[in-house]
Amino acid sequence: MLIYLDGNLVPKEEALVSVFDHGFLYGDGVFEGIRVYEGNVFRLQEHIARLYESAKTIALEIPLTQEEMIQATTRTVAANEKQDAYIRLVVSRGPGDLGIDPAKCKQATVVIIVATIALYPEEHYQNGVKLVTASVRRIPMESLDPRVKSLNYLNNILAKLEAKNAGCLEAVMLNHHGLVAECTADNIFMVKNGVLKTPDLMQGALAGITRAAVLDLARERSLETQETVMALHDLYNADECFLTGTGAEIVPVVGIDGRQIHDGKPGPMTKTLLAAFRELRVRDGVKVAMPQAVR
């Protein structure tokens, strides 16, 4: 495995980052998770644009232009010769001292990892999953804008621990007003009376790339969509519910907090959108030219 590290492709064993890097010390940085399908990097431009927006918000200067970052990403995919993969693109504040002052970090660290990903079992897509609501609340916008995909994921991790302890794949996270924001690593959607709904971004949701793709697919099919305010009452009484994310794609939800969603089976709109997404993911991407051999 070859890792992109600050402009160079190095073997995994040599991909070393300083223990004084503020990404390691304080979670000071941003990242993206991106999928490769059949040699196509899915919505790469959108992922890179979101990365740079996150970096701008936290005043992190990335030492590459967006076009250079796209080239670095496709170069790393090609070097690893993977047709299907998961990309983890990380930009940290870089090495500094033991204080939190970001001015002590002279240059950001850029890492691109291309590896395999453990996909959800197919049974989750066929039968659906059950969720629990976490007691851990989403960090409020007054503290950190949820649209920033930062390296500090402790809030989500604590909620994920609650899900695991409850025997569930995922947990619903509420904002500080008690309204639905998202899940620990996925956005959440519901269907009620033929209308597709998802929490608006001001409720504490990340602006997911798969979330946007699903909204696009729904509108292309003349389905009514709403980015709105949702409470647990709405989820419990939904006709359908599903999760979206880079790793998850679209996973049906059949129960939340012991309440069955409708008839306890994946709904027709969920199935339609999942099928449409699986077609979209191959054609809507940046094609990577794979070398015959990498020396």
Q: pLDDT tens for residues 88-140?
A: 999 999 999 999 999 999 999 999 999 988 778 899 999 999 999 999 999 99
Q: What is the mean pLDDT of residues 197-207?
A: 95
Strands 8-11 and 29-37: unpaired
Pick from 225, 276, 228: which is nearest to 250 by CA? 276
Domains 2-118 and 122-281 share a fold: no
Q: What is the mean pLDDT of residues 21-47?
A: 96
Per-residue pLDDT, 24: 97
| Adjacency order of strands within the sheet including 40-42 | 8-11, 2-5, 109-115, 85-92, 29-37, 40-42, 285-287
**Tokens standing for residue 148:** 């920033």
Three-state DSSP at 258 gives coil
Domain positions in the chain: 2-118, 122-281
Q: pLDDT tens for residues 45-87?
A: 999 999 999 999 999 999 999 999 999 999 999 999 989 999 9
Per-residue pLDDT, 118: 77
**Of 3.30.470.10, 3.30.160.40, 3.40.640.10, 2.102.10.10, which CATH number belongs to 2-118?**
3.30.470.10
Which is the catalytic residue, given 12, 82, 104, 149?
149
**Of 3.90.550.10, 3.40.630.10, 3.30.365.10, 3.20.10.10, which CATH number belongs to 122-281?**
3.20.10.10
Look at residue 290 and tell me whether its pLDDT is greater than 90: no
Active-site residue flag, 149: yes
Per-residue pLDDT, 292: 58
